[in-house]
A and B are shown apart, each in its own frame.
Chain A
């Protein structure tokens, strides 16, 4: 017991000696990664790979993104694997601090360096020219081939994501001009205005000459979407695109996203903590917790038949009409996401989990597979513990109805249905 006490104390307070050691090793590691990233004229074969399934736009495989901070290594993304099939929307859900945004920034190689580094894993992406690159290994210079043109990103904060000192038109033109150096200025401008029209901005000529501060938040997010789509990217990463907007604008922006996705025939990685948004938009869902995927699967599987206690908890904390009817309190998952520094070697959710049992405290669960590539990392589904008669988490009846009704609200226009709806996904 005394020994254990000492151990927990050490993780909270660092002695000067420990601090110095951390700083020293951090510097060394960061230098090494930065040097690798800053190399020039790297042979292409070094970061060229092969897709495991050509129908996927991107395959994220065992991705680890760490932050080397002064208090220790923060494992923000700790072994994440999922795929985005062509023309599909994959929703990534989780509480704040689960590594959703860091996953998306890793794909763009925009993780704030030198502190943040992609440490391990691969991000396989096929460009429109048919070449397959491993983004995790790409040097910084080469990354420009992918950013903007192949993968575009829409950020959470439209209010601060546009440069305040340049006109909307300049910022749009610039995005296109890098990749289309042959286009004349007028052609570029015509295309920018066309994009503004496409995202539903009336009076494009005027907006083109406006500064960002002259537009509302919703308008700015539309401009951001226009900017992201101007080069016809194959994958759009939308990092909580509606969080900063009010509810009516939210619906409009989501609808717009779906619409333009179909126009350019791209895929979307939609990051959000709003399950309602996911239900209305996504084809597949990835549930993240403390830097790992706890459950992933088809939208119907996740919403009708969630397996992981965390997913169930998230759904139960969705406000619904039944709460109003029965007067019951809205559920919230007790506790907080654990600090991603010095994570223990057990299920990260076990402290907050109503269903946890002995083994949960001892090791991290592997993935257990269900039908249609539906997977969950939870010991409740281990055959070994079948005899224990464990209680499995289940959605309350009223919520299954709710989730169905949410999904029924799906925006109908232009859903692309591929023949192989089921097998494009999974670990």
Chain B
């Protein structure tokens, strides 16, 4: 087991190396970099000369866009990254690791709650839809959950905002705190409630977006299991139908569900780029989107490496969970 994990981690290092090089080259290949974005107006109005811009670019290490130049830049980024230094964010003016650390928790909080609600709703729904295949319930649930999944996140968010905050006024439109209210720093409960109130709509958005997929996944797996021979055996034994479904069928559907869902766990830290931006929530996702638009290379690199590590860990967890929930799978090497 330990050997297997070590082997997988060794592989992960190679994967991360490739990923980092690829991302670095892609960001460097963007047509307008951070300095171009920042100085465009000044150059236009004649306040800065192209020479000034070039000098700035050299300062930021963005001047040499040839392949050897990019590789050189990558090498210096890489050697710093090995020492845990992901550099300074151009845009936020602070160390990248610090920015990530600060904004990741709010994103994690939103995603985690949405994830839990999604599981609680989608799995029982999928099971019930599978057990009553082609029934009214099955069709209704499938149509509505797929509709929610098919909507683009910004559109769904806008719909919810329009309905619940503009028309009904139940929830705030945007942001994380009420600007007009002043809380005493010791009033932790009040601050918490205020934040929670702001997060209702984003969490609903994220949940609605993901329910359909998980529900269909549960339904498909459950249907496959329900048609298998051992379910017929369980029925032939004389087990009550409830036990056949909840014990024999679900325990088998559980295997793909657990591995997929546990693989998603690290991803909860990655933030919801669009939803966070639409609701103006200062989470890691919206921070990353701003940084990407501005060509903030250190932050983009740091964030994407963070995502890559989360993905690799997710796959590892998912594979390890197979051995935990499926007695037929054993990890030997």
B327 touches A165 (CB 8 A): yes
CB distance from B322 to the nearest CB of A (A): 12
Instruction: State which of A144-152, A196-204, A371-379 sits at the interface with chain B.
Output: A144-152
Within B308-329, which residues are at the interface with A (CB < 8 Å)? Answer: 325-328
| B63 interface contact, C-beta 8 A | no
A164 touches B328 (CB 8 A): yes
Contact of A175 among B227, B237, B251 (CB under 8 A): B237
Chain A contacts for B234, CB-based, 8 A: 163
Contact of A144 among B240, B255, B328 (CB under 8 A): B240
| A178 interface contact, C-beta 8 A | yes
A147 touches B235 (CB 8 A): yes
Chain A contacts for B232, CB-based, 8 A: 110, 155, 161
Interface size class of B (residues with CB under 8 A): 20 to 34
| A157 interface contact, C-beta 8 A | yes
The 8 A CB mask of B231-247 against A (1 = contact, 0 = none) is 01111111111000000
| B228 interface contact, C-beta 8 A | yes
| B229 interface contact, C-beta 8 A | yes
B251 touches A147 (CB 8 A): no
Chain A contacts for B229, CB-based, 8 A: 155, 157, 160-161
A178 touches B239 (CB 8 A): yes
| A211 interface contact, C-beta 8 A | yes
A174 touches B237 (CB 8 A): yes
Contact of B327 among A140, A164, A179, A228 (CB under 8 A): A164
Beyond A147-B235, A149-B238, whether A163 also contacts B327 by CB under 8 A is no
Residue of B229, B236, B251 contacting most chain A CB atoms (<10 Å):
B236
Contact of A174 among B230, B239, B251 (CB under 8 A): B239
CB distance from B177 to the nearest CB of A (A): 48
The 8 A CB mask of A284-328 against B (1 = contact, 0 = none) is 000000000000000000000000000000000000000000000
Chain B contacts for A108, CB-based, 8 A: 235-236
A161 touches B237 (CB 8 A): no
Chain B contacts for A224, CB-based, 8 A: 233
Contact of A163 among B233, B240, B241 (CB under 8 A): B233
Contact of A165 among B237, B238, B239, B326 (CB under 8 A): B326
How far, in angstroms, from A397 to B321 measured CA to CA in the complex?
65
Chain B contacts for A174, CB-based, 8 A: 237, 239
Least CB separation from A237: chain B residue: B236
Chain A contacts for B252, CB-based, 8 A: 163-165
How far, in angstroms, from A157 to B236 measured CA to CA in the complex?
14
| B290 interface contact, C-beta 8 A | no
19 contacting pairs across A/B (C-beta < 8 A) = A108-B235, A110-B232, A148-B238, A152-B236, A155-B229, A160-B229, A161-B232, A163-B252, A164-B327, A164-B328, A165-B255, A165-B328, A166-B251, A174-B237, A174-B239, A178-B238, A213-B328, A227-B233, A227-B237
Residue ranges of B at the interface with A (Cβ–Cβ < 8 Å): 227-230, 232-241, 248, 251-252, 255, 325-328
- Beyond A146-B238, A211-B327, list 6 extra A-B contacts (CB 8 Å): A147-B237, A155-B233, A160-B228, A162-B230, A163-B233, A164-B326
